[in-house]
Copies of this chain bind each other. A is one copy, B any other.
Amino acid sequence: MSAFLLNPQLAADTTPVGDLALCRVLLMNNHHFPWLILVPMREGLCELFDLNPTDYQTAMQEVRDTAQKFAAITGADKMNIAALGNMVPQLHIHIIARYAGDSTWPNPVWGAGVKPEAYAPDALALMLEKTIQSLALK
């Protein structure tokens, strides 16, 4: 098994939050939406079903746990959870806090032409701190 390397586009678009047992947790650099990305730390996967059965079960538990805790700290009206990968082939799972009335509501956040905007440094630090604490990341 070759070493896990994060896709450069995912690395460029996000700030690392920490690692769960299987998935790396990333925060999207876009203050319009509280938006995490989970990347299973396995090389060469594109589809969810490329995960072996044990890893799939672990990944899905990490998705459930992360989504529930992120919903709580963000006060989201709805969580959007998706594995798309039409642009970035490395398997990754979006966990996005949505609010009725946010800038693309009720449409999805992708492909809507809303330009991503980075967090202000203080807002980024706060979001990272809350997420790290909530997910019990080190």
Taking beta carbons and an 8 Å cutoff, which residues of A are in contact with B?
46-49, 56-57, 60, 63-64, 67-68, 71, 78-87, 98, 104-108, 110-112
Separation of A67 and B71 alpha carbons in the complex (Å): 26
Docked pose: A111 CA to B20 CA in angstroms: 32
- CB closest residue in chain B, given A46: B78
Contact A78 B82 (CB under 8 A): no
Q: How far is the CA of A106 from the CA of B84 in the complex (A)?
A: 9
A51 to chain B, nearest CB (A): 8
Q: How far is the CB of A42 from chain B (nearest CB, A)?
A: 15
Across chains A and B, which 3 residue pairs bring their CB atoms closest together, nearest first?
Answer: A107-B111, A82-B82, A86-B106
**B78 lies within 8 A of A49 (CB):** no
Minimum CB–CB distance from A127 to chain B (whole Å) comes to 20
CB pair A84 B86 closer than 8 Å = no
